[in-house]
Amino acid sequence: MDPPLAKKQKINPKKPITFKSASMKPDIYFEVFGQEFHVTSMVLKLRSGFFRTFLDPAGGKLPKSTQPGFASEWFTRIDDDGAWELSSDHQFRTITLSEFKGSKDHEELCFQKLLCAIHGRAYQLENADELVTMTDMARYYQVRPVVSPTVCAATFKTPNFYTTIMNDPCSVLTSAKTLRNDLLFKDSLLLCLGPWSEPAFLKLSDPELRKTAAAAHARICAKVAKVQPELLLVNIKYQPTGQTKEAKQSYQDPARVLADVAYSCRGIRQLSKDGCWHDVLLLPIYYRRCSEVGSQSRDWTTAIREAVAPLLTSDLRMASNVLAGVGQFKDYFLCLDFDDSDLPWGPAQYE
């Protein structure tokens, strides 16, 4: 005999998430992919250009509510392009949301964090995807000046947040420009310059950002161009002269040592446009290992360490303990000569 069918369990609806402000009661109802949010209109009108327009229209029509205690209700609307937005049109109360192809949980969570920023609540960004999505929402609902000062603290709460930026630094750089956040911009710009053998910034579609990244890349190239002749001078300066034949044979030639270092720093072979495979020298790890040659007791090692030192500094503020040419950053330079005057926006400039 077949076992009896299990009774279908009732799925409890999600509890509403309420944002209170001082003595004001929530009077606005949001429903985002089935999750209710109760917020106060005063805070929204004060900090969001979008809601200031629609909740306090000049000669316009105020959105209405069918629920007691709420001045207006807003529902999830799926656009023709598959994106979503809030709408006060009640026809979207019961409309299907199956047309949305993204992650509903992700969008709902990011919207909740957006409301946290608007209401001055602490929140945590778990990864760069959340940052990018929240930035898009901040732009649409016109709260960028409110959100921008909060994102750095939200990212610092997540250990090694920079590793998620490395997956798509171009998107984060674009978001940093949207938010006008200089710290986030500089760090994501730095990560866009790598991997050094195949820089991510070349994929940027924003011509202004690509120009900014290319200029930063050129500055590091200039540093490399300055260091390499100094290494050649070390080879020339520290050649054995006036020594016995035995002494010359036992002498460790810096040119030979540096050549061995270079051989050990080859990257994965790459297929060029002409269809030929070629070896790639990972310059960051090469200069890192050049600096480590200095641990051996030779008279020329100090000169090498001093020559390569400018390339091995780190200006990545999200992670002060990482090293260029090591681990995840084996193909990254982290020395960014970038001034605030190079930022692609003016002081407090928002569209």
d(CA 197, CA 83): 36
**37, 145: one domain:** yes
| Domain of 265, in residue numbers | 202-238+252-342
**153, 206: one domain:** no
Per-residue pLDDT at 2: 47
Report the DSSP beta bridge partners of residue 35: 32
Q: pLDDT tens digits, residue range 48-85?
A: 999 999 887 655 666 777 788 899 999 999 988 889 99
d(CA 44, CA 55): 9
**144, 59: one domain:** yes
**104, 213: one domain:** no
More confident residue, 71 or 351: 71
- Closest by CA to 172, choosing from 163, 183, 185, is 185
**Domain presence at residue 7:** no
Q: Looking at 123, 158, 193, which one is the last position of a domain?
A: 158
More confident residue, 265 or 165: 165
Per-residue pLDDT at 260: 82
d(CA 130, CA 139): 14
What value does the mean pLDDT take over residues 210-237? 92
What value does the mean pLDDT take over residues 325-334? 95
**Domain presence at residue 188:** no
Residue 103 exposure: Cα atoms within 13 Å on the Cβ side: 9
**214, 334: one domain:** yes
**Domain presence at residue 332:** yes
pLDDT at 297 > cutoff 60: no
**37, 136: one domain:** yes
**Domain presence at residue 8:** no
Domain count, the chain: 2
Residue-averaged pLDDT of the chain? 86
pLDDT at 192 > cutoff 70: yes
Residue 56 exposure: Cα atoms within 13 Å on the Cβ side: 11
d(CA 227, CA 311): 8
Per-residue pLDDT at 101: 87
**140, 222: one domain:** no
CATH number at residue 89: 3.30.710.10
What value does the mean pLDDT take over residues 144-166? 96
**95, 226: one domain:** no
